[in-house]
Amino acid sequence: MKLSKAKIIAVTSVKGGVGKTTTVLNLAGIYASNDKKVLILDMDLYSSAISVMLNLDPTNDIYTLTDDLNNNRFSELDDYITKYNKNIDVIAAPKDIRMSSRISCSYIPVILSKVSLIYDVILIDTNHFMNEINLTLLENSDSILYVVTNNPIDLKNMRSMISIYKDMEKTNYSILLNESIFKGRHIYTKNDVNKFLKRDVDYYISDRFNIKDIDKYISNGVILTLDKKIKITYKKAISTYKYMADSLLLGKED
Ligand SMILES: Nc1ncnc2c1ncn2[C@@H]1O[C@H](COP(=O)(O)OP(=O)(O)OP(=O)(O)O)[C@@H](O)[C@H]1O
Ligand SMILES: [Mg+2]
């Protein structure tokens, strides 16, 4: 049994559809290749994608876990885990989204402290809403990764978020500029983005990592960073994911 505490990394954004879930999976692939035990906690409660993208069919999920904790039916964590491979486990978002609004924030710290004893890394997939669930998740994470694109709305909202972090004197977040989704559809360069945000982005995935047939990988439940062909074809992006995975583990803490 592992005794040290896991690193808890939340992947979030200020806009939807920017590549959070793909980033979570790509980071999980890198950690798993380094023989780290990874738990993906799918907290995108209303439009979860992790189970779908990994072709999993969970029997239990985060709702049944909180409900069983609440009703003293919880016996062991394994009952709520769905395995992807030797090193990657998942706690799925509710299969029935009607249950999502019944998840109580008060169990989040309890769950995170339980899983922290078993895994090396906990990767939390979120949605971009500043609701109580997400605020609790961010509050209880060691490191927060914001994924942004070159979209002007995204960048404006990120700039506001940076000032909020400044006001709160919180520094445990980093920014990934992800150009890979919108190949050829952005007008701002990485330098423009840095100037606009008045801060350099911490990580950058260029649009050379745009994968035309990404849906083929998704329908086969493949994690890009674990795929042989992708690893050979997109060496630069893979090395950025490796660098990002390492530095998120070291992390800036408040
Ligand atoms: N490298 C890539 N190349 C091509 N398409 C990509 C790439 N990465 C992500 N996508 C596609 O972009 C879309 C958005 O990605 P993803 O679902 O990871 O974003 P998200 O921020 O999690 O979205 P949401 O806010 O809806 O949860 C998906 O259709 C995904 O397949
Ligand atoms: Mg998502």
| Tokens (6 digits) for 202 | 């911490």
Tell whether the torsion through CA atoms of 178, 8, 244 and 201 is positive or negative. positive
Instruction: Give me ligand 2 centre to Cα 3, in Å.
Output: 31
**Which ligand sits nearest to residue 211's alpha carbon?**
1
pLDDT at 87 over 60: yes
- pLDDT score recorded for residue 119: 97
- pLDDT, tens digit (0-9, with 9 covering 90-100), for 167-223: 999 999 999 999 999 877 778 899 999 999 999 999 999 999 999 999 999 999 999
Instruction: Find the angle CA(246)-CA(247)-CA(251) to the nearest 5 degrees.
Output: 125
What pLDDT is attached to residue 184? 74
Going by C-alpha positions, the residue among 170, 188, 169, 168 that lies closest to residue 178 is 188
Q: In this structure, what DSSP letter does residue 197 have?
A: H
Give the mean pLDDT of 49-68.
Answer: 96
Task: List the helix and strand counts (H, then E) for the chain.
Answer: 10, 8
66 pLDDT higher than 90 = yes
Position in ligand 1 atom list of the atom nearest CA 218: 31
Q: What is the mean pLDDT of residues 49-65?
A: 95
3-state secondary structure of 203: strand
Look up tokens 């893979």; give the residue: 238
Confidence of residue 254 (pLDDT cuts 50, 70, 90): low
pLDDT mean across residues, the chain: 94
- Residue range 143-160, pLDDT digits in tens: 999 999 999 999 999 999
Asked if residue 253 has pLDDT above 60, the reply is: no
Cα 58 to Cα 51: distance, rounded to the nearest angstrom = 7
Position 17: which residue type?
A: G
**pLDDT given for residue 2 in this prediction:** 54
pLDDT band at 225 (very low <50, low <70, confident <90, very high): very high
Is the residue at 254 inside a domain?
A: no
Please indicate, yes or no, if residue 2 is contained in any of the structural domains: no
Q: Is pTM, for the whole model, over 0.85?
A: yes
Pairing outcome for strands 121-125 and 82-83:
unpaired
Cβ 17 under 6 angstroms from ligand 1: yes
Residue 16: inside a domain: yes
Let me know: does 133 contact 105? Beta carbons within 8 Å: yes
pLDDT at 60: 96
Residue 52 lies in a domain: yes
**Is pLDDT at 9 greater than 80 in this prediction?**
yes
Residue 240 lies inside a defined structural domain of this protein: yes
Q: Are the beta carbons of 119 and 9 closer than 8 angstroms?
A: no
Look at the chain and report how many structural domains it folds into: 1
**What percent of the chain has pLDDT above 70?**
97
Please check whether residue 64 lies inside any domain of the structure: yes
Q: Is the pLDDT of residue 95 over 90?
A: no
Count, residues in the chain: 254
Domain span holding position 236: 7-249
Would you say the CB of residue 49 lies under 6 angstroms from ligand 1? yes
Structural contact between residues 217 and 209, judged by C-beta atoms closer than 8 angstroms: no
**Which amino acid, residue 117?**
L
- Indicate the burial class of 75 (C-beta count within 10 angstroms; 0-12, 13-18, 19 or more): exposed
CA–CA separation, 243 vs 176, rounded Å?
Answer: 12
Site to substitute for ligand 1 among 21, 154, 233, most atoms within 8 A of C-beta: 21
**Quick check: CB of 134 below 6 Å from ligand 1?**
no
Taking phi first (over 0 means left), then psi (-120 to 50 degrees means alpha), and beta for anything else, what does residue 221 get? Answer: left
φ, ψ for residue 42, nearest 5 deg: -85, 100
**Inside any domain, residue 1:** no
pLDDT classification of 140: cutoffs 50, 70, 90: very high
- Residue with the bigger pLDDT between 151 and 245: it is 245
What CATH number is attached to the domain comprising 58?
A: 3.40.50.300
Q: Which residue is closest in CA terms to ligand 1's atom 7?
A: 181
Residue 60 belongs to some domain of the structure: yes
CB of 211 shorter than 6 A to ligand 1: yes
CA of 125 to the centre of ligand 2 (A): 7
pLDDT recorded at residue 17: 94
Q: At what angle do helices 235-250 and 20-33 cross, to 10 degrees?
A: 80
From ligand 2's centre to the CA of 152, what distance in Å? 20
